[in-house]
Amino acid sequence: MTETPNPVAFTTERLAKVKEIIARYPEGRQKSALLPVLHVAQEQWGWVSSEVMDYVADILSIKPVEVYEVASFYTMYHLDAVGKHVIEYCRTGPCCLMGGEEIYDYLKQKLGIQAGQTTPDGLFTLKEVECLAACGWGPVFQIREKFYMNLTRERVDEIIEELSK
């Protein structure tokens, strides 16, 4: 599990990145930086806790509720602690046509968890997502920025083994 450091603060490197992001928008439009900055926060802490959201609100000079309503609207932001690897599994039609449901069942069985759960060793969290725009290469899941495509049982075995090391 990723621990939320206390006090909450971006690393020097990430703070510089956040400042660069804010500078992209016209004067007074720094709220536009909210989605990208939440991605940077999630990169650092693995998920966005309410403390992190308050911190982001402070940095962008907006109200905390403006961050909460956005973080809870978009599906990519994790509002609870997650495992080391978050598997975001596509459950939409075109992937299902390619056997996506069967592979999903296999993956759940292999990890011993259901959607929304984390393995007891804290290594994997499973999340169901909608279409990842990779339908021609389905079934598909994503871990952070990486797409794993044309999934088969054997491929799932390899990926899980590799990431368990």
Partner 1 sequence: MAKKILTEHINVPGIETFEVYRKQGGYTAVEKAIKTMTPEEVVEEAKKSGIRGRGGAGFPMGMKWGFLAKPEGVPRYLVCNADESEPGTFKDHHLMKCIPHLLIEGMIVSSFALGANKSFIYVRGELMYVIRILEKAIEEAKANGFLGKNILGSGYDLELVVQPGGGAYICGEETALLESLEGKRGNPRNKPPFPAVKGLYQSPTVVNNVESISNMPWVINNGGDAYAAIGIGRSTGTKLISASGHIQKPGVYEIELGVSVDEFLNSDEYCGGIRKGHHLKALVAGGSSVPILPAHLITKTAAGEDRLMSYESLSDGGFATGTMLGSGGFIVFDETACIVRNTWNFSRFYHHESCGQCSPCREGTGWMEKVLHRIEHGHGSMHDIDLLVDVAKKIEGNTICPLGDAAAWPVASAIRHFREEFEWHITNPHEATQPGAVFMGAVLA
User: Which parts of this chain interact with partner 1 (CB under 8 A)?
Assistant: 24-26, 29, 31-36, 38-39, 60, 62, 66, 69-70, 73-77, 88, 91-94, 96-99, 101-102, 105, 129-138, 142, 144-147
Residue 67: which of 76, 79, 78, 56 has the closest Cα? 56
Q: Shortest gap between Cβ of 102 and partner 1 (angstroms)? A: 5
Q: Shortest gap between Cβ of 11 and partner 1 (angstroms)? A: 19
Q: Shortest gap between Cβ of 62 and partner 1 (angstroms)? A: 8
Contact 71, 80 (CB under 8 A): no
Q: Which is closer to partner 1, CB of 29 or CB of 50? A: 29
**How far apart (Å, rounded) are the C-alpha atoms in residues 126 and 59?**
31
> Which amino acid is located at 146 in the chain?
K
Contact 66, 96 (CB under 8 A): no
Q: Which is closer to partner 1, CB of 73 or CB of 120? A: 73
Hunting for tokens 């599990």 — which residue is that?
Answer: 1
Q: Shortest gap between Cβ of 18 and partner 1 (angstroms)? A: 14
Q: Which is closer to partner 1, CB of 91 or CB of 155? A: 91
Residue 92 φ then ψ, to 5°: -85, 160
Q: Which is closer to partner 1, CB of 119 or CB of 137? A: 137
Give, as one character, the DSSP assignment of residue 113.
-
